[in-house]
Chains A and B, each alone.
Chain A
């Protein structure tokens, strides 16, 4: 079955540091890939997505590239802010009705 594996957190960074959160997946066919963000006490928000190989999703300074050869969709940001502190979920959609989520990675950014 489909699965998503994310690096375990928490990831602790200082403001303006470079961020990478690794995500790899297993799926049949050609899934769409997503990153969702959950701020403290809130629900999920779509951060970015990519629907085919080599696509790059980007939003709010975050980027992720769909790498079919390595089955990866790593999330990156060049300079994190305190307001980026949240839990980030990698997810895939491969034709079933809903999404398969990773376990989430907590990001803590200190001033």
Chain B
């Protein structure tokens, strides 16, 4: 199957700093990438949808100025948590969908990035 890689897997930062998480599709081109957030013992919550070369579409309740998403190429999307606070500590997961007809349109998930804000 296709591979989606996230980096870093773990990150610990101080309150007030910004953290960037990368999501790469390693062996296919992804026109659309999705960012999710997972709280402990809960399901995944979609944060935003990003399409290559255009602005991300954020779900209701997600602060777009706090969670900056960039999808600059067909293989890379980034999520930047700006001025992070302890309540932003969470597990962030990305998924990618290939070009129409590629990989059957299936979603492939990254390994996730665990953010801890002190």
Interface residues of A (CB under 8 A from B): 36, 42-46, 89, 97-99, 101-104, 106
Contact = CB atoms under 8 A, between A and B. Distances in A.
A102 B43 contact: yes
Nearest to A93: B107
A99 B36 CA distance: 11
A102 B46 CA distance: 12
The secondary-structure label for the interface of chain B is strand
Contacts of B41: 104, 106
Given A43-B112, A44-B109, A101 B44 contact: yes
Which of B44, B46, B93, B109 counts the most chain A CB atoms within 10 A?
B44
Contacts of B32: 97
Interface string B1-31: 1000010000000000000000000000000
A99 B6 CA distance: 19
Nearest to B51: A97
Interface of B: 1, 6, 32, 34, 41-44, 46, 49, 93, 95, 97, 106-112
A98 B48 CA distance: 10
Nearest to B109: A44
Contact of B107 (A42, A89, A98, A106): A98
A88 B78 CA distance: 27
B43 A103 contact: yes
B34 to A, nearest CB: 5
B101 to A, nearest CB: 16
B43 A44 contact: no
B34 A45 contact: no
Contacts of B108: 46
Contact of B109 (A43, A97, A102, A106): A43
A98 B43 contact: no
Contacts of A98: 34, 46, 49, 95, 107
Contact of B44 (A45, A89, A106): A89
Given A97-B34, A97-B49, A104 B42 contact: yes
A46 B107 CA distance: 9
